[in-house]
Amino acid sequence: MPGRDFYNNIKQKIMRNIVAVLIPIAFLVAMAGCQQGSASGEENIQKPDLINDTFPEAQAEIQEVIDETFQSLIDRDADKLISFHAYGPKFTHFKDGLPREGSEANEKGERDLVAAISDWEYDTNDLKINVFGEVAVVTYHADFRPTIAGEIKQLHYQTTIVLVNTEQGWKITHEHFSPLIEG
């Protein structure tokens, strides 16, 4: 009959084998849990509600762009005015029911406007800044009062400005000015 040492030896071998099998299994289970946790963690990250969230920081940045755009008109600084635009193949501009214009025509129009005015007063009535992540739509009822050739013009427009958040900040990529019918 085998002795006590024999049974202790077998017991130790069995324990070593169990430990040798359990440690890798425990490691694999732990790793799977971490991976599953990170995957489910990604699912638990709250995505912004692009329709209902207001994005106040972006709204403030965009308000600054709008203010600086008008300040560049007051200062008669065409280069600064142009710098707020994302001119390129996707830029579009509509005004007064005329055909759509692109970057070149818009830049020329902006430079011609700055050259023609001696003063610029304005109000952006009913201003609304809607941010949809990296894109924003700004709408307002424009009351522009440029002084051209010594005469104050009164221009009322329904205005839509689309901006895109670029590496250089928010840039205008679309402008639409339609005559505002008072009513």
CATH code for position 156: 3.10.450.50
How many structural domains are present in the chain?
Answer: 2
Strands 169-179 and 92-95: parallel
Residue 51 maps to a domain: no
Say yes or no: 41 and 98 in one domain.
no
Terminus-to-terminus CA distance in the chain, angstroms?
Answer: 111
Does an H or E element contain 51, and which?
A: none
| Contact call for residues 117 and 148 (beta carbons, < 8 A) | yes
User: For residue 39, is it within any domain?
Assistant: yes
* 104 and 161 inside one domain: yes
Q: Which pTM does this prediction carry?
A: 0.75
More confident residue, 180 or 33: 180
pLDDT digits (tens, 9 = 90+) for 76-134: 999 999 999 999 999 999 999 999 999 999 999 999 999 999 999 999 999 999 999 99
Q: Give the model's pLDDT for residue 2.
A: 62
Determine, yes or no, domain membership for 28.
yes
8 lies in the same domain as 62: no
Helix, strand, coil share of the chain (percent; to 5): 45, 35, 25
Tell me, yes or no, whether 63 lies in a domain.
yes
The reply to whether 168 falls in a domain is: yes
